[in-house]
Structure 1
Amino acid sequence: MSRCLAALPTDHTPCAGPAVVTVLDADNAGADGCEHHAARLLAVLDHGRVFALPHAPAGAAHRVFKAATPQDERLHRLTDAILPSPATPC
């Protein structure tokens, strides 16, 4: 089963439903994701933002924002969070 674009390479948990939000980084690069993975991605992005997709249920972006607990390691760019480093096997 494929996972949403917001799923971090180190996060092996399954998606919690369809992609319903877009997470944007400080440079406006974005990834669509389920609420579960979007919250985890938002938590590691410095100055990240979340927006509901047009078909999202009411309050989806708010739930993601509230669930995103800031992490010790913060990343500025979405590509730093999503793409594995060259030394990391896929």
Structure 2
Amino acid sequence: MARCPAALPTDHTPCAGPAAVTVLDADNAGADGCEHHAARLLAILDRGRVFALPHAPAGAAHRVFKAAAPQDERLNRLADAISTSPAMPC
């Protein structure tokens, strides 16, 4: 059985469902993948991003992001996003 493009050559685990997200690296090179392999790919990328495909189940990109990032890293990214967001008008 073929595995998704996001599966790393050293990762011999089976796909966990159909391709649901696209993982992009800092140069916008990307691969579609199941949530399982996409999380593993995202975890090794520096400044990687994840986007749900149009047919993905609700929350797919969020689940991949959560699975890929250690808790402290997610908090650091959240803090960076909050501190760099433009001010909201009242």
Taking structure 1 as the reference length, what is the TM-score of the superposition?
0.76
In structure 1, list runs of 5 or more residues that go unmatched: 71-90
1:66 partner letter: K
Q: Is there any run of 5+ residues in structure 2 with no aligned partner, and where?
A: 71-90
More helix by proportion, 1 or 2? Answer: 2
Measure how far apart 1:18 and its partner are: 0.1
Deviation at 1:55, TM superposition (A): 0.1
Structure (1 or 2) with the larger CA radius of gyration: 2
* Structure 1 consecutive aligned stretches of length 4 or more whose deviation exceeds 2 Å: none
- What secondary structure is seen at the aligned counterpart in 2 of 1:67? helix
The alignment covers a number of residue pairs equal to 70
1:47 aligns with 2:50: no
Percentage of matched positions with identical amino acids:
91
1:69 CA displacement: 3.5
Deviation per CA, 1:9-66: give whole Å up to 9, x if none.
0000000000000000000001000000000000000000000000000000000000
Identify the residue that residue 37 of structure 1 maps to in structure 2: 37
Counterpart in the other structure of 2:14:
14
Q: CA deviation at 1:67?
A: 0.2
Instruction: Name the TM-score, length of structure 2 as normaliser.
Output: 0.76
Aligned to 2:68: 68
